[in-house]
Amino acid sequence: MIPLALAAFVLAALITPDAAGAQAGTIYACASTRDGSLRLVPSPDQCKPGKETSVSWNVAGPPGPAASSLHVFDVVGHDLGLFAPTTGGSPWFGIYLSAVEATISVSQAGALIPDGGTSAYFSDPDCRGSAYVAPGLAGMIGCTGADGCQRFFRGRPQAPYDYGLPLQSLLMAGCVNGSYTNAAVIPADEITLEALGLPLVLCAPLTYCLEGPLYVAPGAE
């Protein structure tokens, strides 16, 4: 078990200079037709005809979401997802949820979303139509709603900014109709509480929690 305060340091220590300095290219090897053993070679023409088969693979593959071998667990041992550290010494940290391909913020005690949530914006009156959130929520999950943290929105990663759109605002106090022109927003998708795949409970009025205290440990292989 690793205390949350040390988890970000452990992640940084796992990234070695050799791994960071690996250069993109192609690796060639010869596979024995007798027992399948491999030997690395500088080019495929080094393989022995009739005795070996040439194989190759790329050093650098397509980029994927940042991940680690550290997972977040609740007090009864449920694996909640990949640990995603935050910067600046924040008491909040992230859990990457593969089911929705986004990160959600929690406290070590298990409370969901800092500062009571976030604002969402909509193209149509009564907070309907296309949804938008602030650019800082790209790849993140925020929540808001007239009754508190009841509606969840995932900011689309790598989405282009939209400027000066006449939008309706959904705040924690409810929907505010009228032409609210935001300086910059990105498209968002509304997702259900069930889609998060977390064992959440309504632990206080308008507040969802996981069963804490949460802890970080290596995930199952």
Encode pLDDT of 45-72 as tens digits: 999 998 888 877 765 554 545 545 889 9
Residues 6+ apart with CB under 8 A from 190: 131, 151, 152, 153, 154
Q: What's the sign of the alpha-carbon dihedral 212, 213, 214, 218?
A: negative
Query: Amino acid identity of 97?
Result: L
pLDDT score, position 221: 55
Angle at alpha carbon of residue 25, lines to 13 and 41, rounded to 5°? 105
Compute the distance between CA of residue 212 and CA of residue 191 in angstroms, rounded to an integer. Answer: 24
| pLDDT greater than 50 at residue 10 | no
Longest CA pairwise span in the chain (Å): 76
Centre a 10 Å sphere on the Cβ of residue 206 and count the other Cβ atoms it contains: 14
User: Among candidates 141, 143, 95, which has minimal Cα distance to 118?
Assistant: 143
Task: Lowest mean pLDDT of 74-83, 89-98, 154-163, name the range.
Answer: 89-98
Q: Which whole number is the average pLDDT over 126-142?
A: 88
Provide the 8-state DSSP code for 61.
Answer: -
DSSP per residue over 161-181, as a string?
A: PB-S-EEEEEETTEEEEEEEE
| pLDDT greater than 80 at residue 220 | no
- Length of the chain (residues): 221
pLDDT score, position 55: 79
CB 104 within 8 A of CB 95: yes
| pLDDT greater than 50 at residue 34 | yes
| pLDDT category of residue 80 using cuts at 50, 70 and 90 | very high
Encode pLDDT of 174-206 as tens digits: 788 776 777 788 999 999 888 989 998 887 766
Query: 89: helix, coil or strand?
Result: coil
Q: How far apart are the first and last CA of the chain?
A: 16
pLDDT score, position 16: 33
CB 30 within 8 A of CB 54: yes
Mean pLDDT of the chain: 76
pLDDT score, position 11: 38
pLDDT score, position 136: 83
Compute the distance between CA of residue 25 and CA of residue 57 in angstroms, rounded to an integer. Answer: 9
Residues 6+ apart with CB under 8 A from 177: 125, 126, 168
| pLDDT category of residue 154 using cuts at 50, 70 and 90 | very high
pTM attached to this predicted model: 0.63
User: Among candidates 85, 110, 155, which has minimal Cα distance to 94?
Assistant: 85
Q: What percent of the chain has pLDDT over 90?
A: 15
Encode pLDDT of 160-179 as tens digits: 888 878 888 887 667 887 76
